[in-house]
Amino acid sequence: MQVQQLVIVWSFKVLLAGAETPTITYTFTKTCAAEGSTVLLPCSFTPSTEVIGAEGKDPRKIVRVLWCRKHPICHVTAPSVFDSEAPDTDSRFQYLGDKKGNCTLQITNIQLEDAETYRFRMEAEDPAGHFTNRTGVTVRVEENPLMSVTGSNGSEVRGQTVSLQCTTSSCTFHGVSITWLKDDHALPETGPTLHLGPLTAKDSGNYSCALGTKRRSGLFRLQVEADSAGGTSHVILAVVLAVLLVGIALIVLFFLIKRRRAAERQSAVERQRSVGVLPSGNRGAAQRTDPNTEDVSYAAIHFKASNPSREVQSDADDVVYSAVVSRG
């Protein structure tokens, strides 16, 4: 009875503290690789927690990590490809993780016999913290897969984005080391998918993907074309500018012609003045102001008879006119 009470009390404390169970997460559970290539199996884990008195809980300390194959829980005699307590494992299997949360495994120069399901296991100081995710990651190895690049119709519009996929008819790549080439020049991007964009004319070319140095896909031609809407707008803008320039040229030409005609009329007037011929409207003014015109002054002289008795032939006074002509 006393033992049962202790078990109940301990269980209650664990629930009250909210102790968590360990977890192991694989990014994917299936992948395919070509013989001789490199495969990456991303993985993460969270250790279980333990009750620390009244202070709450604390993650258990992990003291051993391992990857195994051909065994559901990687326990005891299970063949391991990596064991932190056995450093003499196959060097083709490299553990890129740690004992805190990262459990990624990398397989280089993978062979046909490496086609297996791989599982990760962690072990804590307390056996209660030991855990294996039985799902694992199943790796299939192809001897000579036929590779190809897909994901685009080959003709793309400038400014958009496109994703190219490196695939085979029998394989779906995950975590496989794939390199990309454009016009036989290596690109910095790696992985099954190549993202391009925003596209420019420089992105046009022949693309291919490769596994290592021996296997390579056929060429994929990508042609980046100008945006039709953008091209139309450029044409409209060019037409508007052309019309504007023609209008400005016509206005300038109109004022030049008008100015030239005014100058010609002024020159004609000057020539007419020089020869003394002007239009009728200006003739009176010219006659009044021409210095060559003779000025004539008339003077009248009246004579009266000194002898009133003298018989005069004419009843009217005799008037003698003299003209005095003065020249400027």
Q: Which of 227, 223, 176, 175 is nearest to 202 (CA)?
A: 223
The pLDDT value recorded for residue 70 is 85
Q: Are 59 and 72 in contact (CB under 8 A)?
A: no
Residue with structure tokens 């005095």?
324
Residue 298 in tokens: 């008339």
- Spatial neighbors of 193 by CB under 8 A, at least 6 apart, are 151, 163, 164, 165, 166
For the chain, give every residue range classified as CATH 2.60.40.10. Answer: 23-142, 147-225
Q: Which of 47, 45, 48, 89 is nearest to 68 (CA)?
A: 89
Residues of the chain with pLDDT > 70: what percent? 73
Q: For the chain, give the mean pLDDT.
A: 78
The pLDDT value recorded for residue 20 is 77
The fourth-level CATH superfamily of domain 23-142 is Immunoglobulins (2.60.40.10)
Q: Tell whether the model's pLDDT for residue 289 goes beyond 60.
A: no
The pLDDT value recorded for residue 228 is 55
Residues of the chain with pLDDT > 90: what percent? 41
Residue 37 in tokens: 């290539």
- Tens of pLDDT, residue by residue over 258-281, are 888 888 888 888 877 777 655 554
The pTM (predicted TM-score) of the whole model is: 0.58
Please check whether the domain covering 147-225 is classified as CATH 3.30.465.10: no
Q: Are 108 and 34 in contact (CB under 8 A)?
A: no
